[in-house]
Chain A
């Protein structure tokens, strides 16, 4: 298990394939690098070098008490990327991971070649799906996940996956600053979005409350295209194949 100390936190990383650099960032709470490992990452790894990592507190990365705001998580990403590399990377993010990718691109315009924003919550504190989700008790959080995910979680005699997910959610919602950081996260202003120069792909779920963010990106981002897929906020689960196809097509140009 390649653990890299970045920004003072031990982060679990996986590198797949070789070629131009793609970095993929997962979403909060139920996400981990598995979000991408089982969807778009293997297909991208056919002709790219794909870096996947577990965000702080998630998956096999270190469970730390604080630093779940976007700025700190952008600093984690900065520390993970080789400083020597001048070659721009392609950044792909889902949910809060999309926000991290976007903020990284705004901060380092020369270092990002293309940007894929899947279900970008802008701002997360105003996204009904997220605020409603985080108001719940961890047990109800699990119950609120898409049916297909619950079936997998509850399969087997020990309900081991559900138990372990619950344990992770308890940490993230009760024992660290994540929820406090999440609701304090501010919106990205229009002029910042207007400053994005690289090509951007937005992917949104037809039933997601984030869908309206796509209209805003369409109005403000110069080089923007959008794919709307049948589904809600959990597109990597709900529309895995279609999402992979969209991302691979855009990354290959």
Chain B
């Protein structure tokens, strides 16, 4: 069973891999970190992130159906903590 800090560490690692630029290695990634305002993740990179996390956590974590319930503005406003919380809710 993954704990919240473990999931956060896993999500942070996946983010670093998707961005793959020097600055992100030292960037603090915490629950309040925003994908848009802080990480400046491109929309196509978030697709790659979702795919990566899906591979890690399996079918129980269904990002696509989660996104289907969200308006575009809500997706733009997502934080790392939102994603961690979602993964946690799927695994519990």
Measured in the bound complex, the distance between the Cα atoms of B72 and A54 in whole Å is 20
Count A-B pairs with CB separation below 8 Å.
64
Measured in the bound complex, the distance between the Cα atoms of B76 and A241 in whole Å is 14
Asked if B43 and A32 sit within 8 Å, CB to CB, the answer is yes
Asked if B47 and A33 sit within 8 Å, CB to CB, the answer is yes
Asked if A155 and B44 sit within 8 Å, CB to CB, the answer is no
With a CB–CB cut-off of 8 A, which chain A residues contact B67?
37-38, 42
Chief secondary structure at chain B's binding surface: helix
Asked if B76 and A34 sit within 8 Å, CB to CB, the answer is no
Asked if B36 and A45 sit within 8 Å, CB to CB, the answer is no
Given that A46-B68, A152-B36 are known contacts, is A59 also in contact with B75, CB under 8 Å in the complex? no
Asked if B37 and A42 sit within 8 Å, CB to CB, the answer is no
Measured in the bound complex, the distance between the Cα atoms of B40 and A152 in whole Å is 9
Asked if B64 and A42 sit within 8 Å, CB to CB, the answer is yes
With a CB–CB cut-off of 8 A, which chain A residues contact B46?
34
With a CB–CB cut-off of 8 A, which chain B residues contact A152?
36, 76
Measured in the bound complex, the distance between the Cα atoms of B68 and A38 in whole Å is 8
Q: How far is the CB of B77 from chain A (nearest CB, A)?
A: 10
Residues 2-55 of B contacting A (Cβ, < 8 Å): 23, 36-44, 46-48, 51
With a CB–CB cut-off of 8 A, which chain B residues contact A59?
44
Measured in the bound complex, the distance between the Cα atoms of B51 and A33 in whole Å is 14
With a CB–CB cut-off of 8 A, which chain A residues contact B42?
34, 160-161, 164-165
Asked if A37 and B43 sit within 8 Å, CB to CB, the answer is yes
B residues sitting closer than 8 Å to A (CB atoms) are 23, 36-44, 46-48, 51, 64-65, 67-68, 71-72, 75-76
A residues sitting closer than 8 Å to B (CB atoms) are 1, 14, 16-17, 32-34, 37-39, 41-43, 45-46, 54, 59-60, 152, 155-161, 164-165, 237, 240-241
